[in-house]
Amino acid sequence: MSASTSTPKPAAPFLPFTRPTIDDETIAGVCEVLRSGWITSGPKVKEFEARLSAYFGGRPVRAFNSGTCTMEIALRIAGIGPGHEVITTPLSWVATSNVVLEVGARPVFVDIDPVTRNIDLSRIEAAITPATRAIIPVDLAGLPVDRDYLYAIAKKYNLRVIEDAAQSFGASWRGKLIGSFGDFVSFSFHPNKNVTTIEGGCLVLNNEAEAKLAEQYRLQGVVRSGMDGMEVELVGGKFNLTDVAARVGLGQIAQVDAFTTRRRELAKLYFEKLSTLSARSAGLRLPVADFEQCNWHMFQVILPEEKLTIKRAVVMEKFHTLGIGVGVHYPAIHLFALYRRLGWKDGDFPNAEYAGRNILTLPLFPTMHDSDVTRVVDALVSILQVHHKS
């Protein structure tokens, strides 16, 4: 090799938009569970539920194998079914409204607030009919819906609330942890969430009677008594969490405060780096800068489609070429084929539709370095400047 020949600089490692943090102590604990021979629902699930209950101030908590069945079970416990309506947001993972269909009820969508990207609470009362039985709000990206306003509406109209708090574990409202108050509160422990059990979720309930019903719905409606007594009084499912998953969750709970602190630090850094980009790009929308209540499950920007020469998919491709993973959370639910067949169409919810076409999730997870944020922002600046309409 001649002296003038230079060695190519190695490419930066691929940066995903999220990555779970599983420590060595948790991995060792999972091995202990596997060696124990008790790997399905058992003592670790009980321990995990107890830890969750303590975290939420002593409220009853039951663990499940997803954060979707938790909402379905809450609806069933609330007696919601055919002929009923449930108000929710069109900007969420489709599970939020699918569970309403699953119990035979009809979702009623209300457009989002374009600033918070959560359901616009000021529009809810106009959507209430004699068939309305519940509201399912979503804390998008971990930013809490205004709980005071929400529960004032619910109380006025005697509605149940099933909080889709899948993204807001560790978030708070006016100093109180989400899940420590309110009606039903559903959390997800999917791998992309702030706390994971690999797959899983939990439901925070109001009393032990509801908790017992949740247990029945969780496993085929079975009620056991004595050594050999068994009864089935209702149709349940197969929604139980394993002890392996629960052991992962126990390790995560111990770190949730540290995870949240780091996420907030990274979010602040994003705002610092993006402070002048919004003006330069003439329309890039940033999230609400809440560093006290939001758990920063995701950092999402909304692209200014009317000012760009390329669509979001091309923006995503360019990020990928640069070794950066970005995501879409979420397309507008009512424009999926299933919901179009039920009568929804383009133009029904303009704010959600604009967000659904243009929202972009940037990388954010606790083990990211500050330099990763700089790398992401530099990439975003470059892409938007090159493809900005003149």
User: Residues 9, 193, 307, 389: which is the catalytic one?
Assistant: 193
9 is catalytic: no
State the first-to-last Cα distance of the chain, in angstroms, to the nearest integer.
47
Identity of the amino acid at 164:
D
DSSP 137: -
- How many C-alpha atoms does 161 have within 13 Å on its Cβ side? 25
Identity of the amino acid at 81:
G
Cα 208 from chain centroid (whole Å): 26
What CA–CA distance (Å, rounded) separates 80 from 98?
A: 14
Asked whether the bond before 330 is cis by omega within 30 degrees of 0, the reply is yes
Token pair belonging to 161 = 């609330």
Nearby residues of 365 by Cβ (< 8 Å), 6 or more positions away: 16, 18, 19, 20, 21, 263
Cα 120 from chain centroid (whole Å): 18
On whether the CB atoms of residues 299 and 272 are closer than 8 A, the answer is no
Nearby residues of 265 by Cβ (< 8 Å), 6 or more positions away: none
In this structure, the chain runs to a length of 390
SS3 86: strand
What CA–CA distance (Å, rounded) separates 167 from 171?
A: 9
SS3 277: helix
Q: Which residues are catalytic?
A: 193
